[in-house]
A and B are shown apart, each in its own frame.
Chain A
Amino acid sequence: MKSILYTLFILLSSNLFAQIDRSVMPKPGKAPIININDSQVFTLPNGITVIVSENHKIPKVSFDLRMGSDPKLEGRLAGLSDLAGSLLLSGTTTRTKDQFDNEIDYIGADLNADKNSIFLSCLTKHVDNGLLLMSDVFLNASFPEDEFNRIKKQNESGLMAAKSDAGTMAQNAISKINFPQHPYGEVMTEASLNAIELQDVKEYFKNTFTPKGAYLVIVGDLSLQEARRLAIKYFGSWSGPESYSNQTESGQKNKGDRVIFVNKPGAVQSVVYITFPVEIHPGDKNQLPLTVLNGILGGGGFGTRLMHNLREDKAYTYGCYSRLNITDNGSWISAGGNFRNAVTDSAITEILNEFKIISSEIVKDDELNLIKSSMNGDFSRSLESPQTIARFAYNIIKNQLDPDYYKSYLQRLDAVSKETVLEMAKTYFKPYACNIIVVGNEEVLSKIKVFDADGQIEFLDAFGEEKKQILPSDISKEELVERYLSAVTMTKTAKERTKKLKKVKTFVRITDLSIPAVPIPLKRTEYWLAPMVEADKMEGQGMIFQKSYFDGSNGFKFDMQGGNTPFTEAEIASKKLSYGLFPEINYAKNGTQYEVLGIENVSGKDCYVLKTKDNTSETFSYFEIDTYLKVKTISIEKDGDKVQEATSTFGDFKLVNGLLFAHTINFSTEQVNISGTVSKIAINEKIDLKDFKE
């Protein structure tokens, strides 16, 4: 019986299966009605515009306070506003940072701040405690010095990490190139970070965080009445200066295509962006059709032209997109992705080609319908978040849009035609000149040159800074060396100098080294015996890792992997040219090849650049223009195909027996950064070189 039932059941379900025609895609039901609730708006006497969007789905509220000022040029302090933003929650005059963090975490709230806003989100039941803390920030932020120093140090590490991140390097280049002399084109560098002082941060805060022109967007589980009460209670008594307004120009247009290259040694992929500024403001009637155009090109999800061409068709990449950024202070488009070195040039050709096609031919119905449906869906789905509704209200007020701007969004989207899309491309893309940004390996250089209108590739560093420009020098190489020697020996004439230096018979310098990733302390000791004996060792934990010894005509070097190796002919020749405490003293008479290249700016200070050269290496030495002290050297050693670049910087100059010596010496190559602090310099001490006897 059971099995009969079983079979019957099988038959029944089979029958069910039989009636199904799975080959037919289901039809949609009646389109749901989309409601966008109105937000409430009122102003406080101190100038804050308050926008309230009630939503009682979950028992939470959020307060988003946004400043009304436009961004300012920061110049040599580039990055100041970001730094100030990250310091905003570092404590107040009433709470230390620890107390502050603890109180926020205690109510399980989120409180974030950046350069021009503060955001609070918490359970409705904790709203008073949350607002007490939030208002403490804009009323009493104290910017303690130790936090300032800590955040600066953290940024230093961040800048260091940025140098290995091709994506960041590309973004920096995009900003710099599209927006020169514009707040968007300012990127924090090591020099600008170094130049920022606590007082600058405090000034920034005082001028930027003001109720005048500010917006407060309140979203969530409270009534309008309650929102009003809270706004008055916590924000009403705040006062401050007028907000700053600045009609920034849109980005810089080119005459022809420019290729901008950022070197990332060893890269296997190039990060490529084709980018240019677009002249449009938020709320412009063309914003929506232009967004549709970008969607078809590469801004949509699937089936965009860039994805189809460069990924599906050519398999050059895992993803290729275009992004259209429309903001109050400037707008731009960028299109690109990551491409294998070998196809970097082909990828550029294809992306440029897609720009060209979309600007000259009408798009297909399919494409247009796909992007419209997709944007329709994005819009509808975005309404799930109460923050969306608030954002709409904010945009309407901030950009003075039609009050029904979002209510009519779907209608307006539906009305965008193929012809309008082409018109958008012609208006905004054509005639265009592109910036072609490539971050990658130098091996791609020769192939991307053709894309540059004048054939001159521009080179930027990781932070979008132009590779340094060199100005002509006003003194000769002999004068430079002379002034340097005078400075370090504290003498006025060559005769006086010779006499002084003659008295120096021996020299010992001990430097304590710290190397990231090497946990043990290292010590370097250098010896010099007049006139030409030199020895050098590096040790740690009782072991000698490296040493070298030169007796004036011969010598050897030693390291733990290779053991002892005698100096080569070339090394001996190089030693003989460059010896002593100040090798420069002999340049004029021993035939060293040297020349002054000019004046270059190094970390904010002008320096003379002196180049010396021998068979295997070139060295660039930098002498500060106002002190003539040598603050930096870059040496480039060539060994067959291998090129090793090393940078040394010198600081903390102090007198020892009437001579000036640097007491901090940092050494870095692509692989390692070594910081050195000189712990001892001794002159005319008895020297024991038994460590160096073989």
Chain B
Amino acid sequence: MYFRTIEITPMKKIFLSLILVNSLWGLKAQKKIDFVEYDLSNGIHVILHEEHSTPIVAVSVLYHVGSKNEIPSRTGFAHFFEHLLFEGSQNIERGKYSELVEKNGGELNANTSQDRTYYYEILPSNQLELGLWLESERMLHAKVDIKGIETQRSVVKEEKRQRVDNQPYGSFFTEMFKRVFVTHPYNWAPIGSMADLDAAQEEDYVNFYKNYYVPSNATLTIAGDINLAQTKKWVEYYYGSMPKGQALNVYRDFIGLSDVDFEKRYGLSKTKFDAKNFMGSTQADAKKLLATYASKPIEIKRTEKDHSKIDAVIKDVIYDNIQLPAIFMGYKFPEQTHPDTYALQFMNEVLSGGPSSRINKTIVEKKEMATFAFSFNYGLEDAGIGIFAAIAAKDISLDSIQFEFDKQIEMIQNTLISDDEFMKIRNKLENNMVENTSSIEGIAESLADNHVYFGSADRINTEKDLFMKVTKEDIQRVAQKYLTQNSRVILHYLPKEK
């Protein structure tokens, strides 16, 4: 699909997306967001937020699977699935998924990161049931077959060519992560390797679906102009009824395998099952088999936190189709649930939040060394990364920019920030948090993220307090702890020679 968003590419977009990155951190607060949450018997976590100011509704499903769950020889799978799951399902014709949404006045999108795959629809509120049905089709029996795989393979390749390969500086995320995360699967970018996608067999794809696209790995969030009681009924109807545990995958095999293959795998012919009412199959062998598989949970393989350090100063030059050279410096930061996260975000605001921030004032404005210069934090489930970036002004050397970055880093490590700066950042974060409650889709996404990655959807209401606890001393301490000058990655982007 042409609107997938996995990687941040051109510089201007990077600049804009910083606001997004910030918003991921600077979540919510001010007016309390009310919601209810519960688990269905098959493990789906449901979060509902009722708000009637506009007659629209957001339906979203967060699957706790991202590129870090891939195996090194099959990178790009998570993102590829994001594409594949627009192909259609048992009951939705190939290519019609998006059209159905559009035809009914809605919009949809999806995105994939290292940690998650997220799908959503925004619909007129009288189409809530449609949204629930659409996402349930995706979760239960999406079309994962060779035809769709081949179509989407070429689309993903075009996407990579247009968004990564042909974008000035477009590869910097990939290049940076490769060097900062040597042992952890954050090593590769969500877009992955096209060779891996080519090498993968249909079965690899089917297995990925069976392992990760299951109720116990999903969080369903519905926000907007809804009636709670009616919504709960529909949720139970479309989602509560999905097979539990491994029984789901028996059902998927029943659809996907030939009779011979099915019997080989389960020792039972497909004819023993009721095709129209699979879970209600009355034949004794079939009932027994389904009960057995239903009691076997699907174990999701989770990755470990990455607390390793960057060995030394790793310096590399990358040649790209660009006119102006650029520098990118990367530091290892802790995982997003680490208590230092908040102070690090404060630190980043001092360095790079807004026109009056230190990096903008010195490197861009006073010294005129760069056309863009900024830093940002990228927090993830298992580790984080802090990046400093600048595109050199005409005739300015990258080493001199690095020197200035280093001066800024030393300053924040050696001297407490001023009271004015401190208050400024607090005000700014407060403003961000208010802004982020302005759309129901934003609220839905934040509720889901807080539940899955921070263990509490209610963090949408309490995050502000965590920020407000940060002190000036905390900021200095984390700057000393994480901006390690002898352990970082430095990339120079230079114009490609013919």
Chain B residue contacts of A266, Cβ below 8 A: 321, 498
Residues of B within 8 A of A515 (CB): 395
109-167 of chain A: CB within 8 A of chain B: 109, 122-123, 126, 150, 153-154, 156-158, 160-161, 163-165
Question: Which range contains the number of B residues in contact with the other chain?
Answer: 35 or more
**Contacting B280 at CB < 8 Å: which of A17, A338, A378?**
A17
B385-419, CB under 8 A of A: which get 1 and which 0? 00000001111111110000000000000000000
Instruction: Check B104–A517 contact: CB distance below 8 A.
Output: no
Contact with B105, one of A150, A376, A675 (Cβ below 8 angstroms): A376
* Min C-beta distance of B88 to chain A, whole Å: 13
- In the complex with contacts A29-B129, A31-B124, A60-B434, A22-B102 CB distance below 8 A: no
- Over the window 73-112 of chain A, the binary record of Cβ atoms lying under 8 Å from chain B Cβ atoms (1 yes, 0 no) is 0000000000000000100000001100110111111000
Considering the complex, give the chain B residue whose CB is closest to the CB of A29.
B126
B427 located at the interface, meaning its Cβ lies under 8 Å from any Cβ of chain A in the complex: yes
- Contact check, B321 vs A164: say whether CB atoms are below 8 A apart: yes
In the complex the two chains form, what is the Cα distance from A13 to B236 in whole Å? 10
Judge whether A158 and B354 touch: CB under 8 Å: no
Interface size class of A (residues with CB under 8 A): 35 or more
Q: Which residue of B has the minimal Cβ distance to A162? A: B323
Inter-chain CB contacts under 8 Å: number: 250
Those of B204-229 within 8 Å (CB) of chain A: 225
Nearest chain-A residue to B166 (Cβ)?
A269
Q: Which residues of B contact A317 (CB under 8 A)?
A: 158
Does the CB pair A154–B427 fall under 8 Å?
Answer: no
Interchain CA distance A680-B321 in the complex, whole Å: 36
Closest to B429 in A: A108
Residues on A with beta carbons closer than 8 Å to the beta carbon of B106: 377, 381
* Cβ of A373 under 8 Å from chain B: yes
CB-nearest residue of chain B relative to A308?
B95
Closest to B154 in A: A315
The 8 A CB mask of A358-379 against B (1 = contact, 0 = none) is 0000000000011001101110
The answer for the CA separation of A102 and B420 in the assembled complex, in Å, is: 9
- In the complex, identify which listed stretch (B65-73, B253-261, B436-444, B477-485) lies at the interface while the others stay far away: B436-444
B86 to chain A: closest residue by CB:
A302
Q: Is B340 an interface residue (CB 8 A)?
A: no
Whether A17 contacts B357 in the complex (CB less than 8 A), given A516-B324, A671-B498, comes out as no
Chain A residue at minimum C-beta to C-beta distance from B224: A384
Q: Does B308 sit at the interface, judged by CB under 8 A?
A: no
A25-B133, A122-B431, A315-B154 as given contacts; A59 in contact with B30, CB under 8 Å: yes
A516, B325: Cβ atoms closer than 8 Å: yes
Question: Contact mask A11-38 → B, CB, 8 Å, 1/0?
Answer: 0011111101011011111111110000
Q: Do the beta carbons of A519 and B354 come within 8 Å of each other?
A: no
Complex Cα distance, B161 from A102, in Å, reads 41
- The answer to whether B130 touches A20, judged by C-beta atoms less than 8 angstroms apart, is no
User: A105 with B393: in contact, given A59-B434, A302-B102 (CB under 8 Å)?
Assistant: no
A648, chain B: closest CB distance, angstroms: 17
A29-B129, A105-B428, A153-B394 known; A17+B243 contact, CB < 8 A: yes
A33 and B420 in contact, given A109-B431, A157-B394, A301-B98 (Cβ under 8 angstroms)? no
A377's partner among B54, B95, B107 (CB-CB below 8 A) is B107
Q: Which of B174-182, B288-296, B298-306 contacts A (4 or more CB under 8 A)?
A: B288-296
Instruction: Determine the distance from Cα of A454 to Cα of B361 in the docked complex, in whole angstroms.
Output: 54
Flag if B102 contacts A108 (CB, 8 Å).
no
Of the candidates A22, A102, A165, the one whose C-beta lies within 8 Å of that of B168 is A165
The answer to whether the Cβ of A58 comes within 8 Å of any Cβ in the partner chain is yes
Chain B residue, CB-CB nearest to A520: B397
| A164-B322 in contact given A18-B277, A98-B361 (Cβ < 8 Å) | yes
A309-329 Cβ-contact flags toward B at 8 Å (1 or 0): 001100101110000000000
Q: How far is the CA of A7 from the CA of B244 in the complex (A)?
A: 12
- Residues of chain A within 8 A (CB-CB) of B123 are 377
Contact A164 B168 (CB under 8 A): yes
**Which 6 pairs across A and B sit closest by C-beta, in order of nearness?**
A377-B105, A32-B55, A108-B431, A519-B397, A18-B280, A101-B356
On A, residues with C-beta under 8 Å from B are 6-7, 9-10, 13-18, 20, 22-23, 25-34, 57-60, 89, 97-98, 101-102, 104-109, 122-123, 126, 150, 153-154, 156-158, 160-161, 163-165, 266, 268-269, 300-303, 311-312, 315, 317-319, 338, 369-370, 373-374, 376-378, 380-381, 383-385, 514-519, 670-673, 675
Residue pairs across A and B with Cβ atoms less than 8 A apart, 22 shown, are A22-B238, A28-B129, A32-B225, A101-B356, A105-B355, A108-B427, A157-B324, A160-B394, A318-B2, A318-B155, A318-B158, A318-B162, A373-B105, A377-B102, A381-B54, A381-B106, A385-B439, A516-B324, A517-B492, A670-B498, A672-B495, A673-B395
